[in-house]
Each structure stands twice: as structure tokens, then as C-alpha cells.
């Protein structure tokens, strides 16, 4: 059985977009898959059914002792191959110094000289979704191993229905929600990633959507450090006759995933929680800038076809990153028309 190290040690959203790659790898060949991830994505990695082992990356700014310990652990694992879905000089040096015999990565940076297997990719052109660029690397590896490719399918993350029912009842009791009515979850935080809607835009969008779909209950989700933004949105909703219950994610990422799995609809900017919800195949609405490196095609979530709706400023705009060009009333009408059949199946 081949031992494979897969490197995706960057942000949560990027890591979630690697899940189809883990699925393809495990389903296509008999192998032991280890993921190299930072501490904040490790709880998600441990939820992934196609990852056998997790190695924590202390990060580029960790002290030298921790860096040496990481290299020693990777060396001791005696990997047959490494696949760097995220490549930089540090990752390239790490797998090279570990003497991994097969080292695959995109051939797009100076660090590529330290890999002995390379695939030309022009990710900066954003001609396909990020997860497809990842899958291309896995296909290249499988071809080299003469293994037949088994294509992955959504959903990529799932929980037992009984567990989700318990979490739903617990969350409803904690927040004062109706268990039976559909939940609209909105994550206004951005985690420092792509531009997002303003608090005022989110509030107007939620109010207009609730007017069109009064059955929806709005839950405002907030990760660590994002509580203030959720509180501002709740206050803005209240000032305009709306309402939003705040769910603070203070019980860890696995519990947060289970809460998101209970959403009838999830709305957010291009950030980690959007990609978690999509991996669960919860219907998602995403708000993206229109400039090339951040547009909807590049960061398309993992939903099945027809279960994701994207909004961005006009591509011919002089300011493609200016999210104020998105009109909440127009978006609310489009979301209601698109989404009602998803949370009210006939």
C-alpha cells in the first residue's frame, strides 16, 4: 500500500476545496493518505473520511525546533509520494528535504525545481474552479501509477441524521428557534479573505428575502473574532423591523459543521464557512468580487449542480471588487425564485 502525503496547509476554504481530491485518491487506489494541515483546519481534516492520518504544520513562523520536528516526522513516515496542492518555497523544501521519492506540484513557481514531478497550471487565469485544479494534480498522479480514476461525488461531508436532529433540537432550544421551520443561515464575517457585502446590504437582503419567504428563520453565524460583526448585523435587522438569532461557534469546528448541516439555505462571502456548507451540500448563495483571482468560477463551492447561486459585480465594471454594486432587493428576488423549491420540495 502506497503512503501518500497531501499538502494543503493554507486557509479553511482552500482546504475544503481539496476534499474531492482526497476522495478521488482514496477511491481510485489502495493507499494510506496523510494530510499536512495547520492546526485550525485539523478538526476538519479529522472529519474527512478519505484522510487516514493528519500531520500538524506549526506554520512558517514557528521556531526552528518545531520546524525540525516536522521534517523529522515526515522523514520517519517514509512516504512514497507527496502531492502539494498548495505549493510555495517552504512546502517544496520540506518534501525535498524529507527525501520523498515522488514529489508532485503545480509547475508555476520558482519552487518547482525541488519537485521531480510537475504539472503546468495557470491558476492565476482562473479558467476553472480551484477544486478542479486540485483534481487535475490527482489525475496526473493516478495516471503515473497506472490507476483508473474514480470520479468523486457530492456530498463530501455528511453526518448521521439522528446526530443532526439532536444538534437541531439543541440549537433551537438555545437560540429560541422553531425546529420545524427552515433556517436561513448568514455568515457576514470574511476571515480576511475576499471582499464581502456590507452590514447594511446583508440586512436589507435578509429583510427582503424574509418578505418573499416568511417561513425562513434567520440565524447569524459567527466564528471566533467575528461576534461583533454578527451583533452589528442583528442590530441593523432589528432597527429595520427584522430579526436574526446569533449562533456563536464556540464549541469547535465539528459542532459548527453539524449546525450548518441543518440550514435550509446558507449565505456568505467567499470564505471558509461557505465552503463547509457546500461540502455538506446545503444550498449556498455566495458573494464574490469580479476581479479574476476572486470571481465565482475560480472559487465555486462544492455543491451539486443547481444548489449554488453566485452574485458578483459586473465583470466590465471599472471597480470589479466594489461589492456595493450588488443590489439586495434584486438579489432577494433571484434567491427566492431559485431557492424555494430547495427548502420546500414538493
What's this model's pTM, rounded to 2 decimal places?
0.95
Q: What average pLDDT score do residues 221-240 get?
A: 90
Give the rounded distance of the alpha carbon of 142 from its chain centre. 24
DSSP class per residue in 23-70: HHHHHHS-EEEEEEEETTTHHHHHH-TT--EEEEE--TTS-HHHHHHH
Q: Tell me: pLDDT of 63 over 70.
A: yes
Point out which residues pair with 267 in neighbouring strands: 186, 285
pLDDT reported for residue 196: 87
Residue 48 has pLDDT above 60, yes or no: yes
pLDDT of residue 192: 59
Confidence of residue 189 (pLDDT cuts 50, 70, 90): confident
Q: Is residue 116 pLDDT above 80, yes or no?
A: yes
What's residue 224's pLDDT? 85
* CATH of 2-144 among 2.60.120.10, 3.40.50.2000, 3.40.190.10, 3.90.850.10: 3.40.50.2000
Lowest mean pLDDT among 119-133, 163-177, 234-248, 261-275: 119-133
Q: Share the mean pLDDT of the chain.
A: 92
Q: What is the rounded distance in angstroms from the CA atom of residue 95 to the CA atom of residue 81?
A: 9
What residues does each domain of the chain span?
Answer: 2-144, 161-343
Separation between Cα atoms, residue 15 and residue 36, nearest integer Å: 10
**148 pLDDT higher than 80:** yes
The architecture of the domain spanning 161-343 is 3-Layer(aba) Sandwich (3.40)
Residue 194: pLDDT over 70: no
Which pLDDT does position 167 carry in this prediction? 97
Nearest-5° angle of CA 12, CA 13, CA 18? 95
For residue 275, pLDDT beyond 90: yes
Does the N-terminal peptide bond of residue 155 adopt cis geometry, omega within 30 degrees of 0?
yes
Q: Which residue has the higher pLDDT, 91 or 317?
A: 91
335, pLDDT greater than 50: yes
What would the mean pLDDT of 177-182 be, rounded to a whole number? 94
Measure CA 291 to chain center: 20
pLDDT band at 346 (very low <50, low <70, confident <90, very high): very low
Question: pLDDT: is 319 or 27 the higher one?
Answer: 27
Amino acid at each position: 500500500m502506497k503512503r501518500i502525503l497531501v499538502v494543503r496547509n493554507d486557509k479553511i476554504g482552500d482546504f475544503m476545496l481539496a476534499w474531492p481530491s482526497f476522495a478521488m485518491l482514496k477511491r481510485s487506489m489502495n493507499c494510506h493518505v496523510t494530510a499536512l494541515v495547520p492546526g485550525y483546519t485539523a478538526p476538519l481534516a479529522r472529519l474527512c473520511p478519505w484522510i487516514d492520518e493528519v500531520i500538524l504544520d506549526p506554520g512558517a513562523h514557528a521556531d526552528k525546533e518545531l520546524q525540525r520536528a516536522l521534517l523529522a516526522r515526515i522523514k520517519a513516515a517514509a512516504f512514497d509520494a507527496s502531492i502539494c496542492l498548495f505549493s510555495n518555497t517552504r512546502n517544496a523544501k520540506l518534501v525535498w528535504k524529507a527525501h520523498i521519492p515522488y514529489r508532485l506540484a503545480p509547475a508555476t513557481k520558482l519552487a518547482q525545481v525541488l519537485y521531480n514531478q510537475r504539472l503546468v497550471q495557470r491558476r492565476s487565469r482562473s479558467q476553472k474552479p480551484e477544486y478542479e485544479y486540485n483534481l487535475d494534480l490527482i489525475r496526473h498522479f493516478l495516471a503515473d501509477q497506472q490507476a483508473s480514476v474514480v470520479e468523486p461525488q457530492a456530498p463530501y461531508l455528511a453526518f448521521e441524521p439522528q446526530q443532526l436532529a439532536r444538534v437541531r433540537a439543541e440549537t433551537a432550544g438555545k437560540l429560541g428557534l422553531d425546529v420545524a421551520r427552515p433556517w436561513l443561515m448568514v455568515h457576514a464575517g470574511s476571515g480576511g479573505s475576499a471582499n464581502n457585502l456590507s452590514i447594511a446590504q446583508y440586512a436589507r437582503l435578509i429583510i427582503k428575502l424574509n418578505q418573499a419567504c416568511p417561513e425562513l428563520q434567520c440565524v447569524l453565524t459567527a466564528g471566533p473574532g467575528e461576534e461583533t460583526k454578527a451583533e452589528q448585523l442583528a442590530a441593523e435587522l432589528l432597527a429595520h423591523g427584522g430579526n436574526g438569532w446569533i449562533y456563536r461557534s464556540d464549541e469547535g469546528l465539528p459542532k459548527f459543521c453539524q449546525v450548518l448541516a441543518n440550514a435550509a439555505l446558507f449565505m456568505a462571502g467567499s470564505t471558509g464557512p461557505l465552503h463547509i456548507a457546500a461540502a455538506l451540500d446545503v444550498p449556498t448563495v455566495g458573494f464574490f468580487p469580479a476581479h479574476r483571482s476572486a470571481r465565482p468560477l475560480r472559487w465555486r463551492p462544492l455543491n451539486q449542480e443547481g444548489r449554488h447561486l453566485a452574485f458578483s459585480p459586473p465583470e466590465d465594471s471599472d471597480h470589479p471588487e466594489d461589492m456595493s454594486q450588488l443590489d439586495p432587493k434584486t438579489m432577494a428576488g433571484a434567491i427566492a425564485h431559485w431557492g424555494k423549491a430547495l427548502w420546500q420540495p414538493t
